[in-house]
Chain A
Amino acid sequence: MIPAPFEYVRPTTVEEAVQAVAEGGDDVKIMAGGQSLIPVMRLRLAAPETIVDLGRVAEMRGVREDGDALVIGAMTTHAEVIADPLIAQHARLIAEATETVADRQTRRRGTFGGALAHADPAGDLPSVALALDAEMVVAGPEGRRTVPAREFFVDYLTTALDEGEVLVEIRVPKLAGDWGVRYEKFNRVAQAWSIVAVAAAVRRENGHIAEARIGLTNMGPVPLRAPATEAALAGASASPDAVAAAARSAAEGTSPSSDLNAQADYRQHLAQVLTRRAVATAAGL
């Protein structure tokens, strides 16, 4: 189908974008890559009055270093993220997870910021942002503010973005030290969303696991960490047995949904298995 009619605005700076959103009426929608938005507009599940297309806001695109952090422009496409040398060096977990998103064509248009702002529980990038303690830089009529990933994902398809706010860039602390990373995604068919997935970053020191960060995809309405497993891994020996024991608590405190793909208890089982695999690989076992 064809989307319902809308007004179309194409700003070229963040300030223009914020202004266009403010002037866009009651039912204004921001468009990034359009890879989630255009499909729902085609199905007429969304029929915004105004579309503010961020596609020409050059300052929102690309990756740069800023001291101990990488700054990823919200409009950086999935394909650009996968190919980016700075991400490969300092935040490879993002590239690894992004490779599992959708398909070649969709990754050419879909953006890092769009995937975070969309906040689909089955989306692969929110749990990675959470595991890496990323921060969202948001611009609105009152200026800019920074929201940590832990506070950004509020509910199913809902973020801390207020009406009128634009996600401008994402600050990701560089991983310093001997980190290994792994994204384990479980899905059944090509270009499918995660039934469950686990993002792991593990720092090794003298044959031990010094620190582990774990993000869970699709284990509830928002991405989650696995605090019990992270605590069990801190200081544990880097052995398959220790990892397997710690992974058993990965689903503690989660409330996954039941749907056609999987029942909640099966998702909890998957979370444990995928956590074991992700941590073992990240720890080089």
Chain B
Amino acid sequence: MTRVSMRVDGVTYTDEVEPRTLLVHHLREALGKVGTVVGCDTSNCGACTVHLDGQAVKSCTVLAVQADGAEVTTIEGIGSTDALHPVQKAFHEQHGLQCGFCTPGMIMASIDLLKENPSPSEDEVREGIEGNLCRCTGYQNIVRAVQQAAREMSGTSETLGAQS
């Protein structure tokens, strides 16, 4: 066992883990952060995406020991039911989800994309979230949601003032 310490959604946790423990399993099973899900065995689906020191990574392809000393943000750490993150709100309003399984990862990848490119074109959104697969939506509404969030976050949305 190896001792690891990490700050997850603003709270510091110190635990003994087996080196083979994947970060996603540590988050879900040891820390109860079940908002982050596992959708595949091949590092393709992106459902497990979290931010590690501010950067989107697939938490099924990181060992918990590799996150020792790091800052982790999960889908549970970006907003609350009363105050959704603009990307969460846009996914809701644009129907960017059906079953919702891909959504936590889609949102975490989208936030990462928008940090780098605050007003992505449709193609840039599609490429920016190519690491996340959705079996339901056909992506159309996901792309719309990311673009709506981009407008709101950069303050260019006309509806933002009216709604908030």
Contacts and interface: CB of A to CB of B under 8 A. Distances in A.
Interface residues of B, number: 34
A2 B21 contact: yes
Contact of A109 (B57, B113, B129): B57
B157 interface: no
A8 interface: yes
Interface in A1-55: 1-8, 10, 34-35, 38-39, 41-43, 51, 53, 55
Contacts of A79: 55
A5 B18 contact: yes
A105 B49 contact: yes
B144 to A, nearest CB: 18
Interface stretch (B36-44, B80-88, B95-103): B36-44
A34 B63 contact: yes
Interface centre among B25, B56, B63, B65 (most CB of A within 10 A): B63
A106 B49 CA distance: 10
B59 to A, nearest CB: 9
A2 B131 contact: no
Contacts, number: 89
B22 interface: yes
Nearest to A38: B61
Nearest to B105: A105
Interface string B48-80: 010010011110111101100000000000000
B66 A106 contact: no
Contact of B131 (A38, A51, A102): A102
B118 interface: no
B109 interface: yes
B35 interface: no
B2 interface: yes
Contact of A34 (B41, B62, B109): B62
Nearest to A189: B130
A38 B66 CA distance: 12
A108 B56 contact: yes
Contacts of B155: none
Contacts of B65: 8, 10, 53
Given A108-B56, A190-B130, A3 B61 contact: no
B46 interface: yes
Contacts of A35: 43, 61
Given A38-B43, A104-B112, A191 B60 contact: no
A252 interface: no
B8 to A, nearest CB: 18
B56 A2 contact: no
A103 interface: yes
A55 B55 CA distance: 16
Contacts of B41: 1, 39, 42-43
Contacts of B112: 104-105
Interface string A99-126: 0001111101100000000000000000
Nearest to A42: B41
A42 B60 CA distance: 9
A10 B112 CA distance: 28
Interface string B104-120: 00000100110000000
Nearest to A8: B19
Interface of B: 2, 18-22, 25, 41-44, 46, 49, 52, 55-58, 60-63, 65-66, 109, 112-113, 126, 128-133
